[in-house]
Amino acid sequence: MAIKGLMKELETFILPQLNAIKGEIKALDTKIDSTNNRIDSLRNEMNMLDRKLTTEIRALSEKIDIIKDMEQLKSKVAQLEARH
């Protein structure tokens, strides 16, 4: 009988604390899920910006190549004009 009484007292003391811990764990899970969603959103935005920047850099690189080609052509034209 003494063991049953002790078990009941332990249950009375421990069960509310376990339930409170369960509630805290659920709240933490919710916060973690929310944080993960924000991280995913930021990751998507960063990937989109990376693609945009890559596109812009490629376009600028092509323009630089065209300018270099134009400068070479100008130089060749100038050499040809100097011969005549």
Asked if pLDDT for residue 1 goes beyond 70, the answer is no
Q: 39-61, pLDDT tens digit by residue?
A: 999 999 999 999 999 999 999 99
The Cα 33–Cα 38 span in angstroms is 9
> Which token pair is 84?
């005549």
Distance, CA of 36 to chain centre: 10
Kindly tell me the sign of the dihedral angle through the C-alpha atoms of 20, 25, 30, 34.
positive
- pLDDT at residue number 78: 93
* Residue 34 amino acid letter: S
Q: Which long-range contacts (CB under 8 A, 24 or more apart) does 55-62 make?
A: none
